């Protein structure tokens, strides 16, 4: 059974304005609940927090850590790196290291998930010498510099997602949804084999939209928790390789293992709204990302090029609660293609919508991408330790301009 234990710690402020009633002792130790003192959230880390490191010694270039994991936080203002020694947190704009934690014994962190700028992190061991068992999610409080709880599973944890009031844990063929306030299990979902730990969640505090693989090849499952609805979407003929949600959960972008097409769906009714083409040859899609306004979509792959596509979906205000919107709030704007008069005559390849902007990287390396907080900028993170900030021309498109580059594995003094 999935279990959680909490280590002794002082009282915590509750992350929810209206905390749930206390759980009776008889309920605390069943298979779906937790021990008596669940970890909760502290105030956010300030953007001006000083950099702190576990050691003041400068690392020689030869002793740079090996990267095991990279992920952005929910608003793409920070990113987390899991290494074979511990983990590090960075600010994106301006770029700088916020803090790092290198462990004395073991140290490998295969998953590190942030919750905006909160001091609570979710950690999973990884690498050849993992700091924690790979079947446990450790709840880390960086104010105390220690773990305050753990979720244990029968098999390896493939991924973790955090929302302000939910913890989502992804296993090879299951997804578990826990309440953050008392860490009780709320939902359990069966999936097809999911070794990458694919899962996406919306970030509105008033509702939760969760997307995970379905039970069939090429299928995704969309859970609308506010309306208690489940939607299955047959997105591709091949297996799902990657997907992404908008902040409010209205739009879903998917890519298959073929890697040539990316499709954008309405998560409420499952309708296909737009299809864009990354290229003609097969590729492994590493990441998809919507801009905050859902006007743009960024795609990275093993071909070494980051593409930015223009989306023609009128999604309205992305800050609105989905429970107050109807299915017709999402529509496709006219494409204005000069070939529209012979629609249905040209092969599908020539009718595809291609990217408006591109940035060339080293082919074969793995990159994740997100939109920056500055207008028309993209932030690219590489598993080789590279950090790029690029700008694209929203009118003329073409090659992006590199604005900034760093190797974030270099010693702190280097940047």
Distance CA 166, CA 203 (A): 10
Asked which of 67-71, 77-81, 307-311, 353-357 is least confident by mean pLDDT, the reply is: 353-357
Are 239 and 196 in contact by the 8 Å Cβ rule? The answer is no
Asked which of 51-55, 302-306, 314-318 is least confident by mean pLDDT, the reply is: 51-55
Spatial neighbors of 336 by CB under 8 A, at least 6 apart, are: none
The answer, yes or no, to whether residue 149 has pLDDT greater than 50, is yes
Give burial (CB, 10 Å; 0-12/13-18/19+) of 200. buried
The answer, yes or no, to whether residue 264 has pLDDT greater than 80, is yes
Give residue-wise pLDDT tens across range 80-122.
999 999 999 999 999 999 988 998 877 899 999 998 888 889 9
What is the per-residue pLDDT for 30?
A: 31
Are 9 and 144 in contact by the 8 Å Cβ rule? The answer is yes
Distance CA 246, CA 220 (A): 15
Give burial (CB, 10 Å; 0-12/13-18/19+) of 411. middle
- Using DSSP's 3-state secondary structure scheme, residue 202 falls into coil
Q: Map out the domains of the chain as residue ranges.
A: 64-157
For the segment 27-36, the average pLDDT, to the nearest whole number, is: 32
The answer, yes or no, to whether residue 27 has pLDDT greater than 50, is no
Are 39 and 148 in contact by the 8 Å Cβ rule? The answer is yes
Give residue-wise pLDDT tens across range 392-404.
998 888 999 999 9
Question: Mean pLDDT for the chain?
Answer: 78
What is the per-residue pLDDT for 326?
A: 45
Give the sheet arrangement for strand 251-256, strand by strand. 240-245, 251-256, 261-266, 272-277, 353-354
Nearest Cα residue to 108 out of 144, 90, 81: 81
Alpha-carbon torsion 107, 33, 199, 313, what sign? negative
The answer, yes or no, to whether residue 331 has pLDDT greater than 90, is no
Give residue-wise pLDDT tens across range 48-72.
333 333 433 334 444 788 999 999 9
User: DSSP state, 42?
Assistant: P
The answer, yes or no, to whether residue 175 has pLDDT greater than 90, is yes
For the segment 284-298, the average pLDDT, to the nearest whole number, is: 92
Could you tell me the fold of the domain covering 64-157? Thrombin, subunit H (2.40.10)
High-pLDDT (> 90) share of the chain, %: 51
């Amino acid at each position: 059974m999935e279990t959680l234990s909490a280590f002794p710690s002082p009282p915590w402020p509750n992350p929810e304005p209206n905390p749930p009633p206390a759980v009776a002792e008889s309920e605390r130790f069943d298979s779906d609940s937790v021990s008596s003192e669940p970890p909760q959230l502290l105030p956010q880390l300030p953007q001006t927090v000083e950099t702190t490191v576990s050691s003041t010694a400068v690392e020689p270039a030869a002793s740079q850590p090996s990267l095991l994991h990279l992920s952005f936080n929910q608003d793409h203002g920070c990113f987390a790196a899991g290494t074979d020694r511990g983990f590090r947190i960075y600010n994106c704009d301006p770029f700088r290291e916020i803090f790092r934690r290198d462990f004395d014994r073991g140290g490998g962190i295969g998953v590190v998930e942030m919750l905006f700028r909160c001091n609570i992190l979710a950690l999973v061991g990884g690498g050849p010498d993992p700091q924690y068992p790979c079947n446990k999610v450790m709840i880390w409080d960086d104010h105390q510099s220690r773990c305050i709880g753990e979720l244990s599973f029968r098999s390896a944890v493939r991924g973790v997602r955090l929302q302000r009031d939910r913890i989502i844990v992804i296993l090879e063929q299951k997804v578990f949804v826990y309440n953050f306030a008392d860490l009780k299990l709320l939902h359990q979902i069966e999936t097809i084999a999911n070794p990458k730990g694919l899962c996406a969640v919306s970030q509105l505090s008033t509702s939760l939209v969760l997307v995970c693989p379905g039970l069939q090849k090429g299928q995704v499952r969309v859970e609308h928790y506010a309306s208690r609805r489940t939607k299955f979407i047959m997105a591709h003929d091949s297996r799902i390789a990657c997907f992404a949600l908008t902040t409010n959960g209205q739009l879903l972008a998917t890519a298959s293992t073929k890697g040539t097409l990316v499709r954008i769906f309405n998560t409420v009714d499952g309708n296909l709204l737009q299809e864009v083409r990354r290229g003609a040859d097969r590729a492994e899609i590493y990441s998809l990302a919507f801009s905050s306004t859902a006007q743009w979509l960024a795609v990275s792959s093993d071909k070494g090029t980051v593409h930015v596509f223009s989306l023609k979906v009128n999604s309205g205000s992305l800050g609105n609660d989905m429970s107050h919107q109807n299915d017709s709030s999402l529509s496709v704007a006219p494409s204005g293609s000069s070939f529209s008069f012979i629609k249905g005559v040209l092969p599908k390849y020539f009718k595809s919508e291609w990217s408006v902007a591109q940035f060339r990287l080293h082919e074969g390396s793995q990159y994740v991408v997100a939109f920056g907080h500055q207008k028309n900028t993209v932030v690219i993170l590489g598993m080789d330790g590279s950090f790029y900030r690029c700008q694209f021309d929203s009118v003329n498109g073409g090659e992006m301009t590199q604005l900034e580059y760093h190797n974030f594995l270099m010693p702190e003094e280097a940047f």
